[in-house]
């Protein structure tokens, strides 16, 4: 564990709280966009309501914005590139600039832009209802990503945030599992991620598109084959889950995690995964730099 929150607290006029520990531990990774989705979601949620951490993040984001200036200069571009560029503009190939009156828009900082869905989740849901291809990976990915944002804003209260921070920050590392539907469950449409602190028994499920009318129990299987029920998922009416839980034993002893329905049939399985492998990452997002 490498955090030194006390030292960092002293750097700022506004003190941090214990809830800030996870962010203090990961703020550099956040501003460099080097966190995996799960960690990034935790940081982004915390930053929404913590002025001290916002200040810290803003300071580092300014440093990141200056990094390109450290690159040595190469030879200037060929004149042909400029000629071609302005020929495209003259031919209106690039489209017109948007009206200048929109300059008054107060769009969020660039760093935040990169992590936000391009549109609100309602738009994606609407698109999903209209388009017969709503279940394509593209739409699913965007929708899922949008849902995450919605979840961040609505579904975690400060208490659970504090619990999560304490749980994850004290452990330092988080084991990430993908949550995928079991192949024999045709009615399952959910997906998500499951994170577990590697030094204590705390974990968190982040999921979407689960059936809100069905029961979902999380189970762990230890190395010797013993099964233990971990928790029952609280799925909201939109099919979303964001939930903390405590493992009934050291999570390191679990080799597999799965989810069952009310009849005990396996519906979802979790595999240890590398960062950023969720469906939304398959999108070619195209830099929403507004």
Partner 1 sequence: MTLTGPPTGDKLLELDDATLASQVAEGSAAALEVLYDRYSRIVLSFATRMLGDRQSAEELLQEVFLRAWQQAHNYSAGRGSFATWLLSITHNMSIDEIRKRRRRPQRAESADPVLMLTNVKDRSPSVEESAELGDLRETMARAIGTLPEPQRRAIELAYFRGLTQREIAEELDEPLGTIKTRMRLGMRKLKDYLETYEVELA
DSSP, collapsed to helix, strand or coil, labels residue 243 as strand
Least distance in angstroms from the C-beta of 217 to partner 1: 29
Query: Segment 74-103, which members bind partner 1 (CB under 8 A)?
Result: 74-78, 81-82, 84-86, 88-90, 94-103
In the chain, what's the furthest Cα-to-Cα distance? 70
Query: Segment 171-200, which members bind partner 1 (CB under 8 A)?
Result: 172-173
- Report d(CA 101, CA 188) in Å as an integer: 47
Q: With binding defined as CB under 8 A, does residue 132 bind partner 1?
A: no
Nearest to 145 by CA among 113, 179, 118, 175: 118
User: For residues 252 and 202, is the Cβ–Cβ distance under 8 A?
Assistant: no
Q: With binding defined as CB under 8 A, does residue 226 bind partner 1?
A: no
Least distance in angstroms from the C-beta of 182 to partner 1: 26
- Helix 137-154 to helix 121-130 angle (10° resolution) is 140
Candidate residues 105, 157, 213, 224; the one interacting with partner 1 per rule CB under 8 A: 105
Binding mask 2-41 for partner 1 (x = CB under 8 A): x----------------------xx-xx-xxxxxx-----
Residue 62 contacts by C-beta under 8 Å, 6 or more apart in sequence? none
Nearer to partner 1, 72 or 186 (CB): 72
Nearest to 265 by CA among 214, 195, 230: 214
- How many residues bind partner 1 (CB under 8 A)? The answer is 68
Nearer to partner 1, 49 or 86 (CB): 86
Query: Segment 39-68, which members bind partner 1 (CB under 8 A)?
Result: 59-60, 62-68
Sheet with 227-232, side-by-side order of all strands:
227-232, 217-222, 254-260, 266-272, 174-181, 191-197, 202-208, 241-246
Interface contacts to partner 1, rule CB under 8 A: 1-2, 25-26, 28-29, 31-36, 59-60, 62-78, 81-82, 84-86, 88-90, 94-103, 105, 107, 109-110, 113-114, 172-173, 274-276, 281-282, 284-287, 289-290
């Amino acid at each position: 564990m490498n955090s030194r929150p006390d030292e960092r607290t002293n750097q700022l006029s506004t003190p941090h709280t214990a809830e800030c520990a996870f962010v203090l531990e990961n703020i550099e990774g956040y501003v460099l966009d080097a966190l995996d989705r799960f960690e990034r979601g935790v940081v982004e949620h915390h930053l929404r309501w913590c002025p001290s951490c916002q200040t810290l993040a803003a300071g580092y984001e300014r440093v990141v914005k200056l990094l390109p200036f450290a690159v040595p200069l190469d030879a200037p571009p060929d004149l042909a590139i400029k000629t071609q560029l302005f020929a495209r503009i003259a031919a209106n190939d690039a489209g017109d600039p948007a009206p200048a009156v929109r300059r008054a828009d107060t769009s969020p900082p660039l760093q935040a832009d990169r992590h936000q869905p391009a549109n609100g989740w309602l738009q994606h849901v609407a698109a999903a209802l209209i388009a017969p291809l709503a279940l394509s990976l593209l739409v699913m990915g965007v929708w899922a990503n949008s849902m995450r944002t919605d979840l961040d804003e609505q579904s975690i209260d400060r208490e659970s945030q504090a619990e999560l921070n304490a749980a994850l920050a004290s452990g330092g590392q988080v084991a990430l599992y993908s949550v995928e539907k079991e192949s024999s469950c045709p009615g399952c449409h959910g997906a998500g991620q499951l994170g577990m602190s590697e030094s204590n028994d705390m974990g968190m499920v982040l999921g979407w598109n689960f059936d809100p009318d069905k029961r979902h129990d999380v189970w762990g299987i230890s190395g010797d084959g013993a099964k233990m029920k971990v928790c029952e998922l609280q799925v909201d009416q939109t099919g979303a889950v964001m939930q903390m839980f405590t493992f009934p034993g050291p999570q390191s002893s679990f080799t597999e995690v799965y989810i069952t329905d009310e009849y005990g049939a396996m519906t979802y399985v979790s595999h240890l995964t590398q960062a950023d492998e969720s469906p939304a990452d398959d999108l070619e997002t195209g830099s929403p730099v507004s």
